[in-house]
Amino acid sequence: MLEKIKATRYVTPLREGGSLPGVMEADDLGTYVVKFRGAGQGRRVLVAEIVSAGLARRLGFRTPELKVIDVDPRLGAREPDEEIQDLLKASEGNNLAVDFLPGALGFEPLAWPPEPDFASRLLWFDALIHNVDRSWRNPNLLLWHGDTWLIDHGAALWFHHNWPSADPLRGFDARDHVMAPFATRMSEADAEFSEKITRDLLDGVVDEVPDEWLEDEPGFDGAQAVRQAYVEHLLTRAQGPRTWLPAPSAASGQDPVAQQGKPGSVGAFWKDTR
């Protein structure tokens, strides 16, 4: 289970993404990016964050520590923006705290071309968790203390918005993925990660999700049944047919950076829209 803390101050909203997370201070003297239960798609987004980050950490990626944070909406009383007031009111009680990485830089693939092994592992991971939120436009990667940190997994595991249609063999469209041009070692990543992802490992991951964000899910008999559905889905995907595995980059054997200017490549798209 995740550690529990209490928010003591609303510092500032983060407006880069869509979900309006807030920087908050807490009673453990830490500073956190708080993802609110009352935002957009609700508590499932927080579940996606916890499951994805737990899995990422176990596969060796860097990702900020997560805690459960109790938020009193009155902490936002001095915020002039009504949207923030409403968000806090809709989020009274437990929310998700992401350890704030001070001074972190946004990831720029052309300034720091990633290693093929890292790129392939990350693309494999995002394909496994159906994460469409790691595009050139919006990589959700931070550079901090010499490492690349994974953030913002709220859009992953989107099958949980409609459990009856969840298909563990569903394909993954990697065309927009920030690592696509660099991911030349997909079969190596596949061999490494499919071996690591066991039922035990997944059980440990889903155990970290608080019951209150899993209870009363339509079609399930309690929180534990929902946890097991995540485990079955991810285990089938990791161990079953590779219907979802992106092919290695077309840039394989060439310099991915040199590919970026070419018409039609992912890099050209990125360059045009910066």
Ligand X SMILES: Nc1ncnc2c1ncn2[C@@H]1O[C@H](COP(=O)(O)OP(=O)(O)O)[C@@H](O)[C@H]1O
| Binding-site ranges for Mg ion (CB under 5 A) | 17, 140, 152
Nearest-CB residue to ligand X? 17
Which sign, positive or negative, has the C-alpha torsion 260, 266, 271, 274?
A: negative
Alpha-carbon Rg for the chain, nearest whole angstrom, is 19
Question: Which H or E element spans position 120?
Answer: helix 116-128
Helix (H, G, I), strand (E, B) or coil at 60: coil
Are 227 and 214 within 8 A, CB to CB?
Answer: yes
Nearest to 12 by CA among 28, 30, 31: 31
Min separation Cβ 137 and Mg ion, Å: 11
Interacting residue with ligand X among 26, 66, 98, 214 (CB under 6 A): 98
**Bridge partners, 31 (sequence order):** 25
Query: Which CB sits closer to Mg ion, 17 or 30?
Result: 17
Which of 7, 21, 178, 237 is the binder for ligand X (CB under 6 A)?
21
What does 126 interact with, of Mg ion, ligand X, none (CB < 5 to 8 A by kind)? none
2 touching ligand X, by CB under 6 A: no
List the single partner that 101 binds among ligand X, Mg ion, none, CB under 5 to 8 Å by kind: ligand X
140 binds ligand X (CB under 6 A): yes
Please enumerate in sequence order all residues whose Cβ is within 8 A of that of 9, keeping only pairs 6 or more positions apart, or say none. 24, 25, 75
The residue whose Cβ lies closest to Mg ion is 17
Find which of Mg ion, ligand X, none residue 52 binds, CB within 5 to 8 Å per kind.
none
- DSSP bridge pairs for 23: 12, 33
Q: How far apart are CA 116 and CA 179, in angstroms?
A: 9
Name the one range near ligand X by CB under 6 A: 11-19, 51-59, 82-90, 254-262.
Answer: 11-19
d(CA 73, CA 215): 23
Rule CB under 6 A: choose which of 4, 8, 11, 17 binds ligand X.
17
Least distance to ligand X, CB of residue 102, Å: 7
Q: Which stretch binds ligand X (CB under 6 A): 92-100, 115-123, 184-192, 202-210?
A: 92-100
Instruction: Between 126 and 217, name the residue whose CB sits nearer to Mg ion.
Output: 126
Q: Which two tokens stand for residue 272?
A: 């045009």
By the rule CB under 6 A, 154 interacts with ligand X: yes
- Helix (H) / strand (E) containing 188: helix 186-196
Query: In 10 A of CB 38, how many CB atoms?
Result: 17
Nearest approach, Cβ of residue 166 and ligand X (Å): 22
Q: Where does this chain bind ligand X (CB under 6 A)?
A: 14, 16-19, 21, 33, 64, 98-101, 104, 140, 142, 151-152, 154
